[in-house]
Structure 1
Amino acid sequence: MTHDITNAVQRFFEAVDTQNWAAANSLMTNPFHLDYSSFGAGPAADLASADILSGWRSVLPGFDSTHHQLGPLIIETDGNSATGRTYVTADHQIAGVEAGEVWTVYGSYVLTLTKIGPDWRLSGNTFQFKFQTGNTDLPALAQSRAAS
């Protein structure tokens, strides 16, 4: 069982990094609980998965690459519900930017999952921000690039 949960989590973040939005959506419940409040993104909310992915599509394609490195994943299950806790280092890169090409965010995720039929899907993500390094202007530049 924990193997299936680990695979769902890894597939989700791989889908985000490769911008495979259909795959990411297939691994999410609807609604999806999103909480990036520790990173200044406003209060936690239950949102439509399509709305979350639309927001990510407005900025992530503006980076030349992103990479979410997770681990270790600590899983607790309770029937058809699970919680996974993991550290995350998220690199965001734009080549050729004079002030620095990489913006890296460090923290941890508390991920909730629900078993629907035979499959596990992510039902929530709470990000616990620790610190960031690199060029903090890159998100705005990426959003501008994604819009053009």
Structure 2
Amino acid sequence: MIKGVLAVALSVCALSAQSKDSTTMSLDEAQIRSNIQGFATLADQGAFEYLGRLLAPELVVDYSSLFGGQAATVTNAALMKQWAAFLPGFDATFHQLTDLRVVIEGDNALATVSFTARHYLNHKQGVDGETGFWSVFGEYEFGLNRFEDNWVINSVTLKRQGERGNRGVLELAPRHAEHNLQQRGAKRVEFH
């Protein structure tokens, strides 16, 4: 009984500490966390024109743990063009981020987050007539720097820990990207 009461008391203290921390988050940390969450959400929604504004004009992208090769310096526009020719080819993607950690030092910051990126193709586009699915999981490491009144991502490193499903869907997705992006774009809500 004493152990049970102690466990409840510790849980309440931990929740109190968490809620106090969340209410005292600095503006800088809130902007960084919002931009990292936005990185995933905007990519999944195909909103590349908005995703691009979260990136520095030039940034270092390192997906070598997933695809081989080396890190590369690219412009934000070139990266968005590359992703727009790939990600919308899936019927859905879902980049789930957990355990986001942020360290700020002056005008620079480092954010690390655990992730699972899921990629889906329907049965009409799947591999050998089957539903296509592929996921990768691991950790993202983002470098950021203060830019005007916000924080922009100046480096992205994907550290792959594993994957599931059929990697073959990666070859099929680009075939459908332009068509899917146009269809989704036609459904945008104009509010001006």
Task: Name the TM-score, length of structure 1 as normaliser.
Answer: 0.94
Map Cα deviations across residues 10-67 of structure 1 (whole Å, 9 max, x no partner).
1122111111111011100011110001112421011111111111111111100111
The alpha carbon displacement at 1:145 in A equals: 2.0
Listed as ranges, the gaps of 5+ residues in structure 1 are: none
Pair 1:147–1:15, CA change in 2 (3 A): closer
1:112 aligns to 2:143 (yes or no): yes
Listed as ranges, the gaps of 5+ residues in structure 2 are: 1-27, 180-192
Residues 145, 151 of structure 2: 8 Å contact kept: yes
Higher gyration radius (CA)? 2
CA distance in 1, matches of 2:111, 2:132: 31
CA distance in 1, matches of 2:144, 2:157: 12
The alpha carbon displacement at 1:101 in A equals: 2.7
Partner residue of 2:97 out of 62, 70, 92? 70
Residues 99, 135 of structure 1: 8 Å contact kept: no
Q: Aligned with 2:174: secondary structure? A: helix
Q: For residue 67 of structure 1, what is the amino acid of its counterpart?
A: F
CA RMSD, 1 decimal: 1.3
Residues 95, 116 of structure 2: 8 Å contact kept: yes
Residues 105, 133 of structure 1: 8 Å contact kept: yes
1:145 aligns to 2:176 (yes or no): yes
Q: Which has the higher helix share?
A: 2
Question: Following TM superposition, where does structure 1 have runs of at least 4 consecutive aligned residues deviating by more than 4 angstroms?
Answer: none
Partner residue of 2:132 out of 92, 101, 107? 101
Residues 58, 147 of structure 1: 8 Å contact kept: yes
Instruction: Report the number of matched residues.
Output: 148
Structure of higher RCO (CA pairs closer than 8 Å, 6+ residues apart):
1
1:50 aligns to 2:77 (yes or no): yes
